[in-house]
Amino acid sequence: MSRNWDVSSDRIAGTELRDVRNIITGNGITTELFRQDWGVVDAEVVQIIHVSLRPGALSAWHKHERQTDHIFVVGGHLRTALYDGREDSPTYQMVNVHHQSRERPFLLILPPGVWHGLQVLGNETASFVNFFDHQYRYDDPDEWRLPSDTDEIPYRFPAV
């Protein structure tokens, strides 16, 4: 960690963490979720979703072949595990685990082909905003899934 509290670690190729700051105001907290001038989106943002997961929920594993995920937690606490299954990647088979919460905000960018799973920690609902560079296509979903205990990914989510 640097003197500016920037956390550095080996990351899966193509993933990014964009630290943001909570802005304390006279009546609350304001947090910028995304700015075009951050330069973290190569294409246009074309769809935004908000997801709420119940305490203890586990959503794993999934990936996309076309779209880039941009995940920003707005409530609760998530353990976000990543696995690089891209054979042509310099970080092939690397695992990263991040803890995302409202208290330590950052934007997590996941390129196509990176497997990811989300686990709610704590006793409250966790929620996040995810925005994409490709719209969801109902007739041809860009969704690939594996069970949370698959042998294809060398990570097991701990019991909560």
Residues 95-127 pLDDT 10s: 999 999 998 899 999 999 999 999 999 999 999
Residue 27 backbone class (left: φ over 0; alpha: ψ -120 to 50; beta: rest)? alpha
Output the pLDDT for position 40.
85
pLDDT category, 7, cuts 50, 70, 90? low
Q: How far is it, in rounded angstroms, from Cα 104 to Cα 129?
A: 15
Alpha-helical segments (H) within 8-155: none
Are residues 121 and 160 in contact, defined by beta-carbon separation less than 8 angstroms? yes
Whose tokens are 């208290």? That residue is 103
Tokens of 3: 């003197």
Output the pLDDT for position 81.
98
CATH architecture of 16-145: Sandwich (2.60)
Q: CA Rg, the chain, in Å?
A: 16
Is the model's pLDDT at 1 over the cut of 70? no
Tokens of 29: 């907290």
